[in-house]
Structure 1
Amino acid sequence: MDETKSTEPSEFSSPLLPIGAQGYGGNHGNDYEEKRQKETWSVPPILILTTLVAVSGSYVFGSAVGYSSPAQTGIMDDLNVGVAEYSLFGSILTIGAMIGAIISGRIADYAGRRTAMGFSEVFCILGWLAIAFAKVGWWLYVGRLFVGCGMGLLSYVVPIYIAEITPKNLRGGFTTVHQLMICCGVSLTYLVGAFLNWRILALLGIIPCIVQLLGLFFIPESPRWLAKFGHWERSESVLQRLRGKNADVSQEATEIRDFTEALQRETESIIGLFQLQYLKSLTVGVGLMILQQFGGVNGIAFYASSIFISAGFSGSIGMIAMVAVQIPMTALGVLLMDKSGRRPLLLISASGTCLGCFLAALSFTLQDLHKWKEGSPILALAGVLVYTGSFSLGMGGIPWVIMSEIFPINVKGSAGSLVTLVSWLCSWIVSYAFNFLMSWSSAGTFFIFSSICGFTILFVAKLVPETKGRTLEEVQASLNPYSTKT
């Protein structure tokens, strides 16, 4: 290469990345980027098919979350299950998800992304069958635990897989479809469940599991996972297939190979993850998940109906309004992800959740003071809808996108398992503690959530990097500079 050309590195450059891929000055880099930009207008059908198969697992995730609400009355009546037993049935899902999260990274790293998705669907199918044919309460618990294990696997491997197969200009939007399909799964299960028997609803939960299982035979393995295990030719062949037969993938394939080879001697243990070079990635990944959950999402989502009733508003109308807001706002987030970037959407989303919780807290404060009795229920509804819409726009999906982008391939399994485990643990804490907090003080509970959402704004502004328009290797080299030095 001509050494007289400009070699001043960009913010995201690494000594191991090819000059054209790093964003250096020079005609080669410019020509490469211009060519890549032209190729972005066409999306190969195989990439769309592969993403749809992957997010079938996301729908399974959503249907599992949405199942317990419409099935409650039927299960309690048919099996003579009490409130305490049904609460255990509902909450054991998160316990299973934590178990699935612990094993997710290892399975995805050693068996492959496709195999991990297959394992998750086997867990889910067994779980749904156990629930559908349960004659006694403990079969419900076993089935729900199995479905939870599958969910824990899916919550890690689906965004990781999509991030690894998509080009940088589409990665954010495609990965966020994961969250959109979760929303669809929750909403449709809730609506369909209002008309169907709980056993039939459980059997319907098997359909998307089978769709993904069959689809896995027609989609490729992640090219980055193949590269990690030295399957260079297969990796480049899969990359060519995913980018289109006329696309020039030589630069991207070289970048993946160079970066992966540099990481081969690095540790893959969970202990090795806690090294200085991974500190920022770990802080960002774990921090976003903690703030996402402690901002109150599962407390509000799981107990929305009781929140509306406590505020003096119709629970059923409030739930319908939430569904009407949630899916369109999540879809809007998908469309904006690769246009506006991750950070702006996160900042807007966190600001909206902060405002929504503040409005809900203000509504309960007015009730406690016996002020504005006519308007406080509407204020509570507005607060919850602002929160739901804002969360769906960014905080719901972007932390999973960021998690899938920031960790190098050598620690992605350990880091992904840790981050996913933290997410589900925090989810369980919030969902378990929410009713106790509301009994203590409804206004205080939402003021706490509002404060945490406000802190999220500062966290994003100070620590979360913008990953839009960067390859995974560029993002990871910038966040973990010492891990790629020779």
Structure 2
Amino acid sequence: MDNNRSSDSSSPLLPNHDPKIHSGPCSTPTSLVLTTLVAVLGSYVFGSAIGYSSPTQSGIMRDLDLGLAQYSIFGSVLTIGAMIGAVVSGRIADYAGRRAAMGFSQLFCIFGWLAITFSKLASWLYVGRLFIGCGIGLLSYAVPIYVAEITPKNLRGAFTALHQLMICCGMSLTYLIGAYANWRILALVGTVPCLVQLLCLPFIPDSPRWLAKVGRLKESDSALQRLRGKNADVYQEATEIRDYTEAFQKQTEASIIGLFQMQYLKSLTVGVGLMILQQFGGINGIVFYANSIFISAGFSESIGTVAMVAVKIPMTTLGVLLMDKSGRRSLLLVSAVGTCLGCFLAALSFALQDFHQWNKVSPIMALVGVLVYMGSYSIGMGAIPWVIMSEIFPINVKGSAGSLVTLVSWLCSWIVSYAFNFLMSWSSSGTFFMFSSICAFTVLFVAKLVPETKGRTLEEIQASLSSYSSKR
């Protein structure tokens, strides 16, 4: 590795630095836009996998003669597979590359969709869903990490937030197609974005930072030049990536256990903490069981679901547009306050029902509460924890740290989605008051611990966090 690095240090791009050439592209290069669009096709697959179980429930249960318990297994096994994929995601992305990790994930997803399409028994449904889960567990790490590593600092937030926007689009389009198509056809349609990304991956560059990490410095510089545009001067950025990577290469690769050191303390606290608070704020309980929430509140489930989709996509888009203008931290604070208010309104509506007060108003209050929650979550809490996760970890621990953070996210997702119905049976108002309290704590957590990463290079962010932890 060291020999390769020294032999590659004479990259032709660096000595030919000309200060007359502009130091960054005036507009976003087409190659960067196309490369990002190929990457976030994986996010669309992620969303379609999550959305698949809702519109297909009655058709699958009828055609394969499944009971509710069997279908619940089918729905939840996706999360189990995602946890398995999360455990190995960092290692695969570190050793084979971010691009290869996306390719592996799509092979898992294609097999899973085909297994569901042609299944005659419940066991094949479970196998297919498990494989799709493994695939999206890989994608949930590889896509935001790759996009963050290929984009310049002034665009990184918005481009990385496209991950969440495409998840939202995947879910919404799957709901729409599922309303008209048979569940087997819907599963077959699910293979299309997988195949498109798989076919496009050989034509996009690998991450310049990953290439530098494995000692392929000439390829790193070439990839960076391709992503920034042929007329851009990449000298400063390439030198910064090279120097930073070489400094961290002197440290050993950290295992998940090795992450629990003082120098990584703040990065780990921020990354893991945001994922726990994102999930325990109730998102998967509300998304997975929105229909039952509206029924319990005495509101039309069809109108409520349409209203949720109508709010979610525009607010996610707004979050993408604001990411690099307002900053991550301020957007997170607004989002967390909004989710707290939304859950409080929903809790209040259920409490009024329990006391038989304002019976005509409480269903509307529940709808408003859920819509405020979904809109607020979509503008910040949905995307930003993944953006920050992709920014804060040094290159020598990024694989292990990313695996841990992604695993925690999926584990918390499973806990909330499994426990939600039991909590609602215990107390609907109590459930939402609990979510509201967690969202209120999120406001404090963001205000005290989460750094602003807007307008800073990955190297600057990671160096500042490491120096903060070393002073503790």
Using the size of structure 2 for normalisation, the TM-score is 0.94
Alignment of 1:325-340 (within 5 A): 325-340=311-326
Q: Is the 8 A contact 1:193 1:201 kept in 2?
A: yes
- Equivalence for 1:16: none
Unaligned regions of 5+ residues in structure 1, if any? 1-30
Q: CA deviation at 1:271?
A: 2.1
CA distance in structure 2 between the aligned counterparts of 1:481 and 1:121, rounded to whole angstroms: 38
Question: Given the alignment of the two structures, is residue 255 of structure 1 paired with residue 240 of structure 2, yes or no?
Answer: yes
**1:66–1:190 contact (8 Å) kept in structure 2:** yes
Out of 317, 336, 342, the residue aligned to residue 356 of structure 1 is 342
| CA contact 1:259–1:484 (8 Å) conserved in 2 | no
Matches of 2:259 and 2:297 in 1, distance apart?
46
**Would you say the 8 A contact 1:167–1:471 is kept in 2?**
yes
Picking from 272, 275, 279, the partner of 1:293 is 279
Segments of structure 2 that go 5 or more residues without pairing to the other structure are 1-17
- Which residue of structure 2 aligns with residue 11 of structure 1? none
The letter of the residue matching 2:108 is: F
Aligned length: 452
Q: Which residue number corresponds to residue 461 of structure 2? A: 475
User: Does the residue aligned with 2:319 lie in a helix, a strand or coil?
Assistant: helix
483 and 214 in structure 1: CA distance in 2 versus 1, 3 angstrom threshold: farther
Q: What amino acid does structure 2 have at the position aligned with 1:339?
A: K
Q: Comparing 245-254 with 199-208, which one deviates more in the overlay?
A: 245-254
Counterpart position of 2:370: 384
Aligned to 2:156: 171
- Could you tell me which residue of structure 1 aligns to residue 130 of structure 2? 145
The equivalent of 1:278 in structure 2 is 264
3-state DSSP class of the match of 2:137?
Answer: helix
Distance in 1 of aligned mates of 2:470 and 2:89: 25
1:204 maps to which residue? 189
Q: What is the CA deviation profile of residues 27-55 of structure 1, one whole-angstrom value per residue up to 9, with x for unaligned ones?
A: xxxx99x954xx45311111011000000
Of residues 45, 68, 72, the one that matches 1:60 is 45
The Cα offsets for residues 241-279 of structure 1, whole Å up to 9 and x where unpaired, read as 101111111111110111111111223222221110000
In structure 2, distance between residues paired with 1:116 and 1:135: 31
Alpha-carbon distance between aligned partners in 2 of 1:360 and 1:405, rounded to the nearest angstrom: 34
Do the aligned partners of 1:132 and 1:199 also contact (CA within 8 Å) in 2?
A: yes
**In the TM superposition, what whole-angstrom CA distance separates every residue of 1:70-100 from its partner, at most 9, and x where no partner exists?**
1101100000011000000000000000000
TM-score (norm 1): 0.92
Deviation of 1:483 (Å):
9.3
Q: 2:168 aligns with which of 180, 183, 195?
A: 183
The amino acid that maps onto 1:360 is A
Q: Which of the numbers 366, 380, 386 marks the counterpart of 1:400?
A: 386
Cα deviation digits, residues 324-366 of structure 1 (max 9, x gap): 0000000000000000000010000000000000000000000
Deviation sequence 1:377-401 (CA, Å, 0-9, x none): 0000000000000000000000000
Q: Give distance in 2, aligned partners of 1:46 and 1:70.
A: 37
Question: Per-residue CA shift, 1:151-180, capped at 9, x if unaligned?
Answer: 100000000000000000000000000000
Q: Does 1:106 align with 2:91?
A: yes
4+ long deviations beyond 3 Å: 482-485
Aligned to 1:118: 103
Q: 1:411 aligns with which of 397, 400, 407?
A: 397
Q: Equivalents in 1 of 2:344, 2:469: separation in Å?
A: 42
Residue 266 of structure 1 contacts residue 483 of structure 1 at CA under 8 Å; is this kept in 2?
Answer: no
**Could you tell me how far 1:311 is from its partner in structure 2?**
0.1
Cα RMSD of the aligned pairs, angstroms, is 1.5
**In 2, distance between residues paired with 1:62 and 1:266?**
37
